[in-house]
A and B are shown apart, each in its own frame.
Chain A
């Protein structure tokens, strides 16, 4: 028996193709995991309907119908949580020995994390489409040209990608998938509410308002509203982009270094 004499693939091409292999592996499991698929489809739709029809009537949004106000907010919240699959998946991989298998293969080292976060972009796109369609059915409409709508979608996907790295880090440090889930939930869920996602910031007590104004969720939601609804943009888009870059710049290196250490201990 002899080795296959496989030629080592060049660095970047190897990284790309390995990343795609890992991303594909993450994605083919989805249709077979009904609970995950529900998290991507039914759950956000349920949230959307509850806010629109239960809370919506009690929330005043001057100058905007609540459904117009709500859709950008709920989509941002949802996209930020899209990365939880990364937390769960990485945590499983670490504890079930798959990371060891990957590390013993002649594959690009970075591909495991890159493939994970890349597959989040695909699932985030899926849930974005589902929420938009549902939103349009219950009365949402764009008030912008195609370029601005697309810019909004790109901003959303970038924002979601930044949070994928947060979740990657959480997944690597957590001792069980359950704790990864709850750490992520406890850390991020309140953030999404102390923002302009569901209610106008002006309706909050003063200290919360101060916090809400610098909250990345507020900036991103406001940026999306300005892009999709033709509202004055202010510095929201740049603020949102800055947050996105900042979060990625902090959590991607944290996750990568944690991944390296994990595999080495």
Chain B
């Protein structure tokens, strides 16, 4: 075991190919204890392959990966006692009741039947599944299945949790309740590695976001840092009909990082700093006698980040997901 300030997950030079396709092309990554790391990327970026290697389901072609100091190959058996995995495929037995699923998983972790039952009931209560405890999972909604799947991953209170696209295909309400559950877990000290193709999800949940595309990490940082990389704030000024673009541009130019762009009554530009920008813009425009309809300062979204970094939008599928599985959206 490593000391408590060592990263929970350490990955160096991880490589994995499927035939000609390089799913992982040399990934380095650290995840600090008690944090959520969001692995963000489109379908086929290598996210699922990465999770499968770290959870001992798949052997990498090269590189090393450890979880809590345990090597994914050498110490696979011990490592499995420390992790929980919940995936986009809601791997629960739909012929069993909710509680039976959790008892089964608990017993496979080595608990006695009564321990597993007690823990299962606790989790069902926490995840709002008590009423469905004695119904076959077949009758569950998509959101309920995901919650049960996550509950199954938590049966043994694993210190490290892998969530592979935990909300893919869920309706907005179920997604929101899933997010709350995940946030609670981390507040209790669990380390989470979460993959997602939803920028909003990474933005909300993850302290550190790692952007992955074609098996390579192309950016890493907090949500704010990534947005800063795209260029800080963006000022958008909508002019009144008949107002002069030229006057507006001339007035705002000193504040701009690059040349302001005009498009159908809308002037947009990157600005150097956020502080006082709106006040200054209003003053300059009014001094220049330019009439303004609306004026806003917009932070770039992670969509902007992704587009800038990869040249394609995040949620546009660029190929099959790892291991010939299709994402059901």
User: A residues engaging B (CB < 8 A)?
Assistant: 1-4, 6-9, 14, 17-18, 21, 24-25, 28-29, 32-33, 96-98, 100-107, 263-265
Contacts of B87 in A (CB 8 A): 97, 100-101
Q: Is the beta-carbon distance between B95 and A33 smaller than 8 angstroms?
A: yes
Q: Is the beta-carbon distance between B81 and A6 smaller than 8 angstroms?
A: yes
Q: Is the beta-carbon distance between A28 and B100 smaller than 8 angstroms?
A: yes
Q: Is the beta-carbon distance between A1 and B105 smaller than 8 angstroms?
A: no
Complex Cα distance A263/B83, Å?
A: 18
Complex Cα distance A21/B109, Å?
A: 11
Do A106 and B57 contact each other (CB < 8 Å), given the known contacts A1-B188, A4-B157? no
Closest to B68 in A: A3
Q: Is the beta-carbon distance between A100 and B57 smaller than 8 angstroms?
A: yes
Nearest CB on B from A255, distance (A)? 19
Contacts of B56 in A (CB 8 A): 103-104
Q: Is the beta-carbon distance between A105 and B159 smaller than 8 angstroms?
A: no
Pick the contact of A2 from B78, B90, B159 — CB < 8 Å?
Answer: B159
Complex Cα distance A98/B189, Å?
A: 27
Complex Cα distance A8/B81, Å?
A: 9
Q: Is the beta-carbon distance between B91 and A106 smaller than 8 angstroms?
A: no
Q: Is the beta-carbon distance between A104 and B85 smaller than 8 angstroms?
A: yes
Nearest CB on A from B183, distance (A)? 14
Q: Is the beta-carbon distance between A105 and B57 smaller than 8 angstroms?
A: no
Closest to A98 in B: B91
> Is B55's CB within 8 Å of the partner chain A?
yes
Contact residues, B52-90 vs A (CB, 8 A): 52, 55-59, 77-78, 80-85, 87, 89-90
The DSSP consensus for interface residues of chain B is: loop
Complex Cα distance A4/B107, Å?
A: 13
Pick the contact of A107 from B93, B100, B108, B152 — CB < 8 Å?
Answer: B108
Nearest CB on A from B106, distance (A)? 9
Q: Is the beta-carbon distance between A264 and B58 smaller than 8 angstroms?
A: yes
Pick the contact of B93 from A1, A3, A25 — CB < 8 Å?
Answer: A25
17 A-B contacts (beta carbon < 8 Å):
A2-B157, A3-B81, A4-B111, A4-B156, A6-B81, A21-B107, A24-B104, A32-B136, A96-B89, A97-B91, A100-B87, A105-B108, A106-B110, A263-B57, A264-B57, A265-B18, A265-B323
User: B residues engaging A (CB < 8 A)?
Assistant: 18, 52, 55-59, 77-78, 80-85, 87, 89-96, 100, 104-105, 107-111, 136, 152, 156-159, 188-190, 323
Q: Is the beta-carbon distance between B77 and A105 smaller than 8 angstroms?
A: no
Closest to A4 in B: B156
Contacts of A97 in B (CB 8 A): 87, 89-91
Do A6 and B152 contact each other (CB < 8 Å), given the known contacts A1-B188, A103-B57, A106-B80? no
Complex Cα distance A3/B52, Å?
A: 21
Pick the contact of A9 from B85, B110, B157, B158 — CB < 8 Å?
Answer: B110
Q: Is the beta-carbon distance between A6 and B89 smaller than 8 angstroms?
A: no
Q: Which of A1, A32, A107 has the most CB of B within 10 A?
A: A1
Complex Cα distance A2/B104, Å?
A: 21
Contacts of B159 in A (CB 8 A): 1-3
Nearest CB on A from B319, distance (A)? 18
Contacts of A29 in B (CB 8 A): 93, 95-96
Contacts of A101 in B (CB 8 A): 85, 87, 91-92, 105, 152
Do A3 and B100 contact each other (CB < 8 Å), given the known contacts A8-B110, A100-B57? no
Nearest CB on B from A116, distance (A)? 13
Complex Cα distance A104/B45, Å?
A: 22
Nearest CB on A from B75, distance (A)? 11
Contacts of A107 in B (CB 8 A): 108-109
Complex Cα distance A6/B84, Å?
A: 14
Instruction: For the A-B complex with A3-B158, A104-B83, A106-B78 known, give 17 more contacts whose Cβ atoms are closer than 8 Å.
Output: A1-B157, A1-B190, A2-B159, A3-B81, A4-B111, A6-B110, A8-B77, A21-B104, A96-B94, A97-B91, A100-B57, A101-B91, A101-B92, A104-B57, A105-B105, A106-B109, A264-B58
Complex Cα distance A180/B159, Å?
A: 39
Q: Is the beta-carbon distance between B111 and A102 smaller than 8 angstroms?
A: no
Q: Is the beta-carbon distance between A6 and B104 smaller than 8 angstroms?
A: no
Q: Is the beta-carbon distance between B110 and A7 smaller than 8 angstroms?
A: yes
Pick the contact of B108 from A102, A263, A265 — CB < 8 Å?
Answer: A102
Do A106 and B157 contact each other (CB < 8 Å), given the known contacts A97-B91, A101-B105, A263-B57? no
Contacts of B96 in A (CB 8 A): 25, 28-29
